Structure 1
Amino acid sequence: MIRVVLADDEAVVRVGVRAVLAADKGIEVVAEAGDGREAVDLVLAHRPDVALLDIRMPVLTGLDAAEEIRRVAPGTAVLVLTTFADDAYIDRALGEGTSGFVLKTGDPREILDGVRAVASGAAYLSPLVARRVVDRLGQPRDRAARERVAELTDREREVLGLVGGGLSNAEIAARLHLAEGTVKVYVSTIMKRLGVRNRVRAAIVAYEAGLVTEFLD
């Protein structure tokens, strides 16, 4: 069972997201918060697998809460609910303790996919969020990303593409017929060679370089 703390300052949004999560019998919302500080307190009280946080909340924003959760409850993955109006927040979040982004207004199935992915240790980017970020970065960054991944081995590029697709280490291992420990080493090596801090940033590089489409289709 994946245990989730849900935080959004709009009660109507919480009701809607809870209804989406209730469609999966393997997911349980253990607590709800209306602001970022309450979200952190509830994470400490319940130690959930996932904190699903609105990016804009009073007292503490979702990103401030994510940073604190990373520090005080590192076993809890953070998935951020965002909108297309939150570009500046997304830019900052790429360096914080977030494991993924999903759109409030997107396909509800993406919320379920995102919760499952980050709970398993993967990064997850809603395809529309990823496309938006890559489009904003522009072609010069795309070229730079292709140059960066060109230094990786073929297998490392393949693993990176699957990381960008939201697959966990276990899922990548099954897909590539490798031991999960081997995949973990690959991911660590890839992040070190790319100079990125977390799987979300690695996933962005994968999108920029076109590896997600290349290896996930």
Structure 2
Amino acid sequence: MKGQFVQVLVALGPGSTNGISELPVARGAAPVEKGLAAYIIETDPDRVIARFNGHDAPDVLLLDFDFPGMEGLGGIRSALDLVAERPIAVLVSPATHNVADLALAAGANAVLPLDMPPDAFHAAVLLLQAGVSFAIFDREHVLAQMRDIGTLSDREVQVLAGICKGLQNKEIAHAFQIQEVTVKMHVRSIIRKLGARNRTHAAMIARDFAIV
């Protein structure tokens, strides 16, 4: 790799903090053998991708799952077009099997946890450049989730099943003949126990671990 340069564009959503933020910020190219490729962190994230198209595209794009305008995983295809089909790694927190499957199917080359250390990001960039597709998961996070899943009550599992089917709280309440306010209470408990961001994320975790 001596003498080679890699330009890496990092597109982070608002408030993202992870190993990337600890990397030395460079506005040009930096040799890989010095420990890190050139990571370009823009201060205007919702416009940054559009600035890199055609021959100006970066060699690798690290794209935050919560990047403005991503609309979940639907923005991956658009991002691929904008960076001229360069390798894309989607950054997620937490990195789960379900998200990884969806991201890879949408065209991403890799899925990485947001809290990876800088040297791990460096290694991931080299793998992406080599044409490798992969996903990295946080073992401790997965084990912790498995422990928390065991604390779900039978009713919470039933409510979670309804969420996975796309049912609204009122429909779940009707199905189990309970009050809607009770369903809301169970939903909050489920999200907390699974460490989910919202009910959609809770459903993704449920599918990851085959809870329902």
Q: TM-score, normalised by structure 2?
A: 0.49
Q: Which one has a larger percent helix, Structure 1 or Structure 2?
A: 1
Q: TM-score, normalised by structure 1?
A: 0.48
Query: Which of these two proteins has the greater Rg computed from alpha carbons?
Result: 2
